[in-house]
Structure 1
């Protein structure tokens, strides 16, 4: 079931969300200052491409991750969260779209503070 949901997710819009995460990571990678955010963006891009059967957990990265998350929110996090929230609202209108809307809610929350998150299989 997880594989079917991931395939449907990818076909019907997951590739857009994952590509936006990769775009954000590439933009930050272009500058030396933005390199600390690149691994978090690429980690969440993989989660955004295929979210079913995976879970986000917090790692304890110390006070540096707090500073990086604040800067991330200012420069990229809010528009990625907005993207995921708009899609979640559109998908939640139908009963079939509710599981997909829930994944977008999880991604919206993760897009606010991606530094210090890890993706694990469940």
Structure 2
């Protein structure tokens, strides 16, 4: 079931979402200060590419991760989270779209707190 869900996901926007996260990572890696944030975008883009069958475990960060998560949240994390929440709500309007909407809700969590998050 995960394979079918992932293939349908790729056809109906998964590739576009992964490319957007990847491009955000490239833009952030243009500066030395943005490299840690860009690396998180690359991690998220790989997760967005093939999300079914994977879960997110939040909260494994130290003091540095907490500081980076706060900076991420204030600067651009909330935009990513709101975008995924809106897209997820739109998908959840139909019964067929509910599994895809739930995936976007997972991305919203990861978009808020990427540092220290484990993708299982």
> Structure 1 length normalisation: TM-score?
0.91
Per the alignment, residue 61 of structure 1 pairs with 61
Matches within 5 A, 1:1-122: 1-58=1-58, 60-120=60-120
Tell me how far apart the structure 1 counterparts of residues 110 and 63 of structure 2 sit (CA, whole Å): 18
Conserved? CA contact 1:91–1:97, under 8 Å:
yes
What is the CA distance between 1:59 and its match in structure 2?
A: 5.6
SS at match of 1:54: coil
**Offset of 1:39 from its aligned partner?**
2.1
After the TM superposition, which of the residue ranges 91-100 and 37-46 deviates more from structure 2?
Answer: 37-46
Per the TM alignment, residue 17 of structure 1 is displaced from its structure 2 partner at its CA by 1.7
4+ residue runs over 3 A deviation: none
CA RMSD of aligned residues (A): 1.3
| 3-state SS of 2:55 partner | strand
SS at match of 1:115: coil
Instruction: Name stretches of at least 5 consecutive residues in structure 1 with no aligned partner.
Output: none
Q: Deviations over 1:67-109 (max 9, x none)?
A: 1011111222112112211111111010011111101001011
Q: Alpha carbons of 1:94 and 1:56: their partners in 2 closer, same or farther (altered >3 Å)?
A: same
Unpaired runs of 5+ residues, structure 2, are none
Q: What is the total number of aligned residue pairs between the two structures?
A: 120
Q: C-alpha displacement at 1:24, in angstroms?
A: 1.8
